Structure 1
Amino acid sequence: MGFSINNSVTQSHTRTHKTFLIASYFLLGTASGCIFLTLSLRLLPSLCGFFFILLHAITIAGAVTGCSVAVSGSNRFYAAHMVVMVLTSIFQGSVSVLILTRSSDFLGYLKSYVREDDGIVILKLVGGLCVTVFCLEWMVLGLGFVLRYYAFVEGHEGVVNGGQYQRNGKVQV
């Protein structure tokens, strides 16, 4: 007839995939912005600064690999990617709370060569970006889960309660 379930599902899948890619690009941009702001603090000699930069680098690597893992790839690689992204988002959230509540103490641990007033302003900017990264990571994780679900439903034929399910959701007994 004039109504097609497959067309609306395909449009929804396409919109979800576009939203996922756009959110991943924003995540990539905000994480690289955090790295550049962090590097402006000149804190490479400190171990805490190295781990802070490493956290943002892992976030960027997760955003880049997430674009291909959500739609295709093995289940183990997908599960490992999701675990890494959840852990980095938790660390991003905790670092942002630490930065925004105790900026001067955190700047002391970083052993920065920048004046304290300027360093606190830069850290507040980084803290705001970390909050943005935290929110974007959870959004990307949710969209990646939805995309993986769409890929599973569309790409696998299986048995449900003794019947074969099809792509349009009908069950044959």
Structure 2
Amino acid sequence: MKMGFSGDISDPHYYTHRVFILCNYILLGAASSCIFLTLSLRLIPSIWGFLLIFLHIITIAGSISGTVAASSSTSSSSRLRWYGAHMVVTVLTTIFQGSVAILIFTMTPEFLGSLKSYVREEDGAVILKMAGGLCLLMFCLNWVVLTLAFFLNYFAYVDGIGRNSINEVRLGSGSKSKIGSCNEVDEETTIKENLPFPFQV
């Protein structure tokens, strides 16, 4: 058992949480790099460039919110709401990241033209393919993050049941000890009352 962000957690929960945080950090770096590469093609982006940057901003926001939510102790209902919202946002960004990567690698000149880049076509194609590689990396990492989020939700549920069971056992044993002590006091009182007058204490 590890001492974690919400008390005692199991070893699989602890290591899954660490890998989840690492994947989100990599997503943050990849999305930030894609924004930089898009701006390097055109400092003031076109409509398509702006949409591409907006997609990476959503990816960054999802990674930050996932990291914060996974590192804080939340109630079961809050965790379920976060898991549902995180799953929807991550799936949508994953689909768009994969689509962008395919368009970049299969239609590089057309995609570069839609961005209205003022960089030389050869240099722009290299920069765009670098951004496409990062989009492909984010596409794969998003599925990993989705899987890890599912396991984190499962482990949090199991660890919560385990803690509740331990608390119930402790409360039960405490109640039994109190009942036992009360019975002993009652027995002593009864014995003293039944003694003849000279022997009463």
SS at match of 1:137: helix
**Of Structure 1 and Structure 2, which has the larger fraction of its residues in helix?**
2
Alignment counterpart, residue 104 of structure 2, candidates 95, 99, 110: 99
The answer to whether the aligner puts 1:11 opposite 2:11 as a matched pair is yes
4+ residue runs of structure 1 moved beyond 6 angstroms?
none
Deviation at 1:90, TM superposition (A): 0.6
Taking only the aligned residue pairs, the percentage that are identical comes to 56
- The Cα shift of 1:67 comes to 1.2
Once the two structures are superposed, what CA deviation does each residue of 1:4-41 show, in whole Å capped at 9, x if it has no partner?
xx68x711111111111111111111111111111111
Aligned partner letter, 2:151:
V
Is 1:31 paired with 2:36? Answer: no
Query: Which AA in structure 2 matches 1:80?
Result: A
What is the one-letter code of the residue matched to 1:62? G
Unmatched segments (≥5 aa) in structure 2: 3-8, 167-201
> Are residues 1:42 and 2:42 paired?
yes
Q: How many pairs are equivalent?
A: 154
Which whole-Å CA distance do the structure 2 matches of 1:45 and 1:134 have between them? 23
Question: Offset at 1:44?
Answer: 3.0
Match of 1:90 in 2: 95
TM-score by length of 2: 0.71
* Counterpart position of 1:122: 127
Alignment check: 8 A CA contact 1:43 1:111 kept: no
Deviation at 1:115, TM superposition (A): 1.3
2:118 to 105, 113, 122: 113
For the Cα contact (< 8 Å) 1:24–1:63, is it kept in 2? yes
Q: CA deviation at 1:43?
A: 5.4
Q: Is the 8 A contact 2:41 2:118 kept in 1?
A: yes
Within 2, Cα distance between the matches of 1:46 and 1:143?
36
Q: Contact conserved, 2:13 with 2:156, CA < 8 A, in 1?
A: no
Q: Which moved more, 1:11-20 or 1:148-157?
A: 148-157
Aligned-residue Cα RMSD (Å) equals: 2.0
TM-score (norm 1): 0.81
Unaligned runs of 5+ in 1: 1-5, 158-164, 168-173
Is contact 1:41–1:119 with CA below 8 Å preserved after alignment? yes
- In structure 2, the CA distance between the partners of 1:116 and 1:16, relative to structure 1 (3 Å rule), is same
The residue number in structure 1 matching 2:149 is 144
